[in-house]
Amino acid sequence: MSDLVVLQRLLLITVIAGAIGYERERHGRAAGFRTHILVGVGACLVMLTGMHLAETLGGRVPFDPTRMAAQVISGIGFLGAGTILRFRASVRGLTTAASLWAVGGVGLAVGAGFLHGAVLAGLIVMVVMFGFTRLERAMRRDWYQLLVIETGAAGTARHLARVRALLAEHDIEIRDLDIREDEPSGRVRLEFQVKLLPDQPRDEIVSQLLRLEGTMGAYWA
């Protein structure tokens, strides 16, 4: 494999990975422009190295160039796991992790010389990343939101039961609950991660919660 071919493939994956990483950079993600380029170039180089070793050994030693490439996928999995953050019932970073994994796959394809497949896959990924955000929002029929309720420390269990019953009347599903006590003030903060539909009367729900005995405060966060 000539040096020119190697250079062309490394430059191609730099352009593709950079374009995908730019979209993540625009959204303020930690794994952005440079990270995607490094992942893509690294994956491409691993595949090029495997093919180079296969050519150099010339069949004298059994060698499978795809073995090195297989380790790239596992390695990117660990890298992607570092971009995923869980905050109560919310998970962030899945799109960034998926884009890193996709860039790694495109890098392997470029390194193997499967250029038309790599370019097409790169274009599809870019269309999804840049153009499908509004479509995804339009497709969502349910929404997740944080409902905060403040109550007194005494009778928290009874108040919690009343809140659950009220939310059930409105067909609101509770996905997660976090209870925090503020000892100086004697208040308990109930944080509900709930699933609701866009047309549900959120203001009316808060009004009903405020009328419950023991409620000191209620609002959507």
**Every domain of the chain and the residues it spans:** 3-138, 143-220
Q: What is the pLDDT of residue 85?
A: 65
pLDDT of residue 90: 53
According to DSSP, residue 113 is labeled T
Cβ–Cβ under 8 Å, residues 56 and 48: no
Contacts of 181 (CB under 8 A, 6+ apart): 153, 187, 188, 189
Write out the chain's pLDDT in tens, 221 residues. 788 999 999 999 999 999 999 988 887 777 788 989 999 999 999 999 988 888 887 767 677 777 888 888 888 877 777 777 655 445 667 888 889 999 999 999 999 999 999 999 999 999 988 888 777 766 665 577 888 888 887 777 888 888 889 988 888 888 888 888 877 777 888 888 888 877 788 889 989 988 888 888 888 87
Tokens 């208040």 belong to residue: 187
With beta carbons less than 8 A apart as the criterion, state whether 180 and 189 touch: yes
What phi-psi label fits residue 91: left (phi over 0), alpha (psi between -120 and 50 degrees) or beta? Answer: beta
The amino acid at residue 167 is L
| Number of residues assigned to the chain | 221
- Identify the CATH homologous superfamily for domain 143-220: ACT domain (3.30.70.260)
The Cα angle at residue 120 between residues 115 and 125, in degrees rounded to 5: 125
So what's the pLDDT on residue 109? 93
Count the Cβ atoms, other than its own, within 10 Å of residue 149. 22
The reported pLDDT for the residue numbered 220 is 86
Report helix, strand or coil for 181: strand
pLDDT in the model for residue 43: 93
What is the C-alpha end-to-end distance of the chain, expressed in Å? 58
- Quote the pLDDT of residue 47: 92
Contact 24, 33 (CB under 8 A): yes
Reading the block at residue 84, the tokens are 């995923």
Nearest residue to 52 via CA among 43, 63, 42: 63
Q: Per the structure block, which two tokens stand in for 195?
A: 């699933």
pLDDT of residue 89: 47
Residue at 208: amino acid letter: Q
pTM given for the model: 0.61
Predicted pLDDT of residue 45: 93
Q: Determine the pLDDT at residue 82.
A: 76
In this structure, the strands spanning 143-152 and 173-182 are unpaired
